[in-house]
Amino acid sequence: MTIMTVDATRRAQNVSACSFDVFDTFLLRACTTPDGIFERVFQLSRIAEKFPNMSVSFVQHRIQAEARARKLALERSGSTEVRITDIYKYFPFRLFDLSRDLAQIEFEAELELCRVNPEMLEQYMDMRRGGFRTGFISDTYWSTDQLAQLLRSCSPGLSWDFLYASCDHGSSKSEALFEAYLAEQGVDATSSFHIGDNHNADIKGAGRYGIRPRYYPQASAALASKLQRETSVFELLCPDQPSRLDCGARTLRRVVSARSAEHSPAFNLGVTVLGPVMASFDAFIEARRAALAREGARVAVGFLGRDGLLSYRVWQSGHGETGAYVEINRRVSLVGSADTLEPLSELLSRVVRIDAPTFVDIVKVQPPAVMKFFAQYPDGIASGRELADALPDLMDPREITDIAAGVRARLLSYLRAKIADFDGCTDLILVDLGYSASVQKSLRRIFDREGIRIRLHGAYLLTLDDAFDDIADDDTAEGLISDRIVTPHVKRMLIRNVALLEQLCCSDEGSARDYRGGEVLREGDQRPAAQLALANEVQSGTLAYTARARELAPRYALQPDADPIVAARWAAAVLGRLLLLPDDDELVLLGGIKHDVNLGTQALAPLLDANFINDCIIARGLSTACTAPAPPMWLAGSFAALSPSHAYLYTLFGANRLPANVFGEAQCGTLQVGLFGRDGEASLESVSVYHTGLGDLRLRVPLSRRMAVATIALPLAKFTRHGMLHGITVQYGESAAKAAESSNVRTIAETRLMDAGLERSGRQFRAAGDDGMLLIPVDGFQDDVAIYTIALTALDHDRILAVEDRDGNGAPSATLSWRAGNGAQAIDGN
């Protein structure tokens, strides 16, 4: 909330004095959080030269030193107020082999990172021009003289009527500092106000003495929550890197967000999240263009459609018509570059299902053998892999050569129509979200076949860098978020979830299928109108952010792209937070988006499917669920739809921080279950019981089709009388191993389960005695093997424990063991 400028005469009737908080109100710091100052001290003190990986330890020791100093001050004087020299008395100088004055270095860091808030300065000077008493009241360990030096360094010539530093008065704003100010300055509390960012110190503290407070928060509650998650994501994705120094990028985001009017949730997502990412990407593209131009190259910039549209719109807003939006996709470019059937086979192998019309739309011909191939399949639909394997026997390689020549001619005519002076350029930058430069490689082959010597340079948001080894020698490919920024493991996690970003950045038209007369011919677009409208609103918010940031960054003396590596790391964290740790509002906003497969098919795949992930966790375990194939396209979002904790565990897995021996399964015994056949016969079978890293239990009951089992009788009360049933799933396969690996998981509906000696309420169950059973119906199946998995939590035990091998044959004993409040116990499952 800010104070609006009003008529000076009117103000004079109501206000006699105005006080300003200093840090994060009148002065802003170009770092993510206030302790970014400590991270800068670590750099300025040159400790990094001796101990390059101790930045985190240094910051924590600085925080602990302050905590110790304040605790002792409270014990001695009843106040936590301390000076900077008091803090450094408790800092472990020997640990870091230090002899310099860190207090002075920290002040130098403040001088470097602090800058005046133009909005607050404008209000401050307006008050002074109106004849009001103005000054500053700050909770700080800097003395009044140091605070004065800092203020004048950030705003030369600044003057004031009063300046209060809490450490000089031995009292904070939450204690008696406001009282001292009122008494010494003779200010009438009811006719004065105080502006600050801290709700407790500035708002409650001022209000306690009758001063009218004006709240100036750094970020809304929703944005502050996102920023906290981003820091966690940064530390996971970029370990051992400074997580608090970002060249002012976060400060700029807070400023832009605070000065942006409230809009729709989609627009606000563009302003607060996607905007900063695309602004960094835009700066990355410009740096690539400028570097080539300095070498004397005649450079053109082409943004690849469809999901290059947003980056093109951002470029246009800052660079005018110096780039072109060119609708070239993998399918068209690959066919145009082909001189054998191999590229076409590679493309088709990635298509899940395909029919004859789709094939004809891709290759523009109807080979009789291919038409016969489709005719032998139900409804004329085959898998892309089956078609790719059969293609060498169905088409003459010379056919693809003629097809490719026609596509090349039409594509080059289109490029000449879209890119000004196409034949006069020496270098063409291709901008795309990523990932393996497939369009760039295909264009290189096309250019080479047509004798075009233009060098190609890929500028991508995300890259699979191990796919660049076959880039032509004179060409280049580079990603903003490359393997130099995050690990390949992390990169693959981001790309596994990138479908959400693609849809938000995408145009609202179908994908290119061919060209005619220099114009693009498009497929039909099956995406719902509401989804296209949502994406357009997010893009509008993104453009609003980039325009506002471009305007405000110099005014606030912020340079978020001054260090390209730092900018790339934070782009990864901001994007990673959205893709990997979305909040509930984002799930509601984005969860209904569909992804169009975009390979000549009309299929729409869901982004979210929490039930599928839950079933995968039940049937296959958490770690395996983290590698589930698409769909759902937004795997992390599907985990988040279960709970924020599930999303964080998935993120840990992607960052290679989810150890299998902690979050995997461990066998903790066996249990005998009853199997009732369709012919009336019954038998007992021992099945393995596992516990998971989250303390749940898994029972897997394998059945063969020959057994003709109709019902599984599960004696739940044998190992817990009170529990939570998470679900029952079944998988099928030609063997037990194939069934266990299957991602085709079916859920047994709760309404089909029968109780014998059990009481169930929702997921909870309670057994009256030791003979309580759950009866699970078994449907007939065509495969050789079915595996039924039961997942539950025992609520009457603290923890199930793994059981040691006791039979001497390498098999666990037929017991379940758990750790209860009175020691280890065991139940015999027989």
Rounded to the nearest 10°, the torsion over CA 644, 647, 649, 650 is 180
Which amino acid belongs to residue 762? G
Confidence category of residue 100, pLDDT binned at 50, 70, 90: low
| Residue reference for tokens 């750094």 | 218
| Residue reference for tokens 């020997």 | 94
Q: How many CB atoms lie within 10 A of CB 416?
A: 13
Instruction: For residue range 421-433, list pLDDT tens digits in order.
Output: 999 999 999 999 9
Locate 223 and state its tokens.
Answer: 């944005």
Sorted by sequence, the CB contacts under 8 Å of residue 377 that are 6+ apart come out as none
Sorted by sequence, the CB contacts under 8 Å of residue 510 that are 6+ apart come out as 522, 523, 524, 525
Give the per-residue pLDDT at 346. Answer: 81
DSSP string, 434-464: -SS-HHHHHHHHHHHHTT---EEEEEEEE--
Confidence category of residue 15, pLDDT binned at 50, 70, 90: low
Give the per-residue pLDDT at 474. Answer: 95
Confidence category of residue 805, pLDDT binned at 50, 70, 90: very low
3-state class (DSSP) for residue 781: coil
Q: Are strands 323-326 and 299-304 parallel, antiparallel or unpaired?
A: parallel
- What is the residue-averaged pLDDT of the chain? 90
3-state class (DSSP) for residue 40: helix
Instruction: For residue range 170-193, list pLDDT tens digits in order.
Output: 999 999 999 999 999 999 899 899
Which structural domains are found in the chain, ordered by start?
8-215 (3.40.50.1000), 245-328+410-563 (no CATH), 342-394 (no CATH), 608-661 (no CATH), 665-828 (no CATH)
Total length of the chain: 830
Locate 111 and state its tokens.
Answer: 């001088």
653-683 exposure pattern, b = at least 16 Cβ within 10 A, e = fewer: bbbeebeeeebebeebbbbbbbbbeeeeeee
Counts of helices then strands in the chain (DSSP H, E): 34, 32
For 78-95, the three-class secondary structure string (H helix, E strand, C coil) is CCCCCCHHHHHCCCCCHH
Q: What is d(CA 562, CA 333) in angstroms, rounded to the nearest whole number?
A: 36
Contact 362, 306 (CB under 8 A): no
Among 444, 513, 511, 516, which Cα is nearest to 476's?
444
| Percent of the chain residues past pLDDT 70, beyond the cut | 93
544-575 exposure pattern, b = at least 16 Cβ within 10 A, e = fewer: bbbbbbeebbeebebebbeeeebbbbbbbbbb
Sorted by sequence, the CB contacts under 8 Å of residue 690 that are 6+ apart come out as 665, 666, 667, 668, 697, 698, 699, 700
Average pLDDT estimate for 528-544: 97
632 cis-preceded (ω within 30 degrees of 0)? yes
pLDDT top residue among 359 and 198: 198
Give the per-residue pLDDT at 14. Answer: 45
Region of poorest pLDDT, from 304-318, 451-465, 490-504, 792-806: 792-806
User: What CA–CA distances, in Å, run from 366 to 342, 343, 403?
Assistant: 18, 18, 12
Give the per-residue pLDDT at 802. Answer: 61
pTM of the model: 0.90
Which amino acid belongs to residue 350? R
| Percent of the chain residues past pLDDT 90, beyond the cut | 75
Q: How many CB atoms lie within 10 A of CB 469?
A: 6
DSSP letter assigned to residue 423: G
Confidence category of residue 800, pLDDT binned at 50, 70, 90: low
Give the per-residue pLDDT at 13. Answer: 45
Contact 359, 390 (CB under 8 A): no
702 cis-preceded (ω within 30 degrees of 0)? no
Contact 694, 529 (CB under 8 A): no
721 cis-preceded (ω within 30 degrees of 0)? no
Please say if the pLDDT value at position 141 is more than 50. yes
Region of poorest pLDDT, from 468-482, 555-569, 597-611: 597-611
Give the per-residue pLDDT at 292. Answer: 97
Give the per-residue pLDDT at 826. Answer: 41
Considering Cα of 411, then 416, then 420, then 425, what sign does the dihedral take? positive
Average pLDDT estimate for 340-352: 81
Please say if the pLDDT value at position 711 is more than 90. yes
Confidence category of residue 638, pLDDT binned at 50, 70, 90: very high
Tell me how many degrees the CA angle 471-305-252 measures, rounded to the nearest 5: 90
Sorted by sequence, the CB contacts under 8 Å of residue 787 that are 6+ apart come out as 619, 700, 701, 702, 703, 730, 731, 732, 733, 736, 739, 740
| Residue reference for tokens 């110190």 | 201
334-353 exposure pattern, b = at least 16 Cβ within 10 A, e = fewer: bbbbbeebebbbebbeebeb
Which amino acid belongs to residue 516? R
Among 41, 198, 166, which Cα is nearest to 106's?
41
Locate 143 and state its tokens.
Answer: 């003395």
Q: What is d(CA 256, CA 277) in angstroms, rounded to the nearest whole number?
A: 14
Instruction: For residue range 374-406, list pLDDT tens digits in order.
Output: 999 988 888 888 998 998 889 888 888 888 999
Instruction: For residue range 145-162, list pLDDT tens digits in order.
Output: 999 999 999 999 999 999
